[in-house]
Amino acid sequence: MKKYSIKDIATLSGVSVATVSRVINDNGRFSEETRNKVLKVIEETGYQMNYSAKSLRMNKSFSIGIVVPDISNYFFSDVVQKIEEILFAKGYSTIICNTARNNKKEIAYLRMLESKGVDGLIVISGADEFGFDYSHAHKNIPYICIDREPKNRDNTIFISSNHYQGAFEATEELLAAGCKYPIVAMHKRKSSSGKERCRGFMDALQKHSICFSHARNVLTVDVKSKDFHADVKKMLTLHKNIDGIFAINDSIAMELLQSLKKMNISVPKDIKMIGFDDTPQDCYSSPTLSSVKQDTTMIAHTAIDSLLNIISNPDDTGNSIIIPVSLVLRESST
């Protein structure tokens, strides 16, 4: 009920605050006897460290900020959840910041995270490059980027799934399944991962000697738009022999599935489709959706290892890490 401070513990166990501190942090030297004495009192009182004080003194907050566009997106929540779990086990708490891809909000969050003195930052995705130079007064917090191109690679580490490979393989799968006229469906605003996926698609076409043209092979859509269906319909009536779609993410793929159903186009018979992210809902659609699966567990572990490493070795930056992906085949592409 009462709030004990290290001073109380010292008094109660008949030693000085310094000794209590040493016992708690297990550094410095002290006799086994005093250790037990102090530990006993701590146990009895239910003493809890005051992290505000500790942070102030040590200039370290034992907390990590995560900047993410939208946590209700499955891929993001999945990796955030995993990161949070690992960090907690390591004694860090996590401050999660939803930017909603809003730049002003992002900056406000970054200021807050700086003020709270986070020890490091994990930046996940987002439309633009990540700069972190919004203010001449920033504290140079160590940070790593996941799926978001840093403006300056020299002071950070860039972690990313192999979006290129995933897109390439997905496209080749479509071709192997007999598609002659595959297109890529994407939104206008390209994230760094989106660009890579697009590039993978194009290179796969090229490898199989299919000529790529933006007008013929790219369907630009906006999932939130009311014109979604109209846009799709327009594209498909303009290019009647389209028989394969690589959707840059599952959310687009799902909407496309709906649109095609409305148009009485059968998937996979008339058009084959592959998405990206292997969202759980892929199993519930009809047809079930083939998709490229990212290894969120590995991403999370890699991110944390990298971040903690550059926190202790600030010069160990500058490299990027690519995480393999895998293709999960379901009904929509067979």
- 26 binding DNA? (CB under 7 A): no
| CA separation for the pair 85, 65 (Å, rounded) | 14
Tokens linked to 248 = 């840059």
Q: Cis omega (within 30 of 0) on the bond before 268? A: yes
Q: Of residues 56-75, which lie at the interface with DNA (CB under 7 A)? A: 56-59
- 27 binding DNA? (CB under 7 A): yes
The stretch near DNA (CB under 7 A) out of 52-60, 104-112, 242-250, 305-313 is 52-60
SS (H, E, C) 28-53: CCCCHHHHHHHHHHHHHHCCCCCHHH
Out of 26, 31, 104, 140, the residue judged to bind DNA by CB under 7 A:
31
Q: Say which residues have a Cβ less than 8 Å from residue 134's Cβ, sequence separation at least 6.
A: 107, 110
Question: How far apart are CB 214 and DNA at their closest, in Å?
Answer: 52
Question: How far apart are CB 311 and its own copies at their closest, in Å?
Answer: 17
Helix (H, G, I), strand (E, B) or coil at 79: helix
Partner touching 238 among DNA, its own copies, none, CB below 5 to 8 Å by kind = none
Q: Which amino acid is it at 143? A: Y
Out of 26, 29, 31, 136, the residue judged to bind its own copies by CB under 8 A:
136
- 54 binding DNA? (CB under 7 A): yes
Tokens linked to 131 = 């700069």
Which residue do the tokens 């369907």 mark? 219
Partner touching 21 among its own copies, DNA, none, CB below 5 to 8 Å by kind = DNA
Closest to DNA by CB, 32 or 133:
32
Half-sphere exposure of 333 (CA within 13 A, CB side): 28
Closest to DNA by CB, 139 or 180:
139
Q: Of residues 38-97, which lie at the interface with its own copies (CB under 8 A)? A: 45-53, 55-56, 61, 63, 70-72, 74, 77-78, 80-81, 84-85, 88, 93-97
Q: Buried b vs exposed e over 118-150: b needs ≥16 C-beta within 10 Å? A: bbbbbbbbbeeebebeeeeeeeebbbbbbbbbb
Residues contributing to the site for its own copies (CB under 8 A): 1-4, 45-53, 55-56, 61, 63, 70-72, 74, 77-78, 80-81, 84-85, 88, 93-98, 100, 108-109, 111-112, 114-117, 135-140, 254, 257-258, 261, 280-281, 283-286
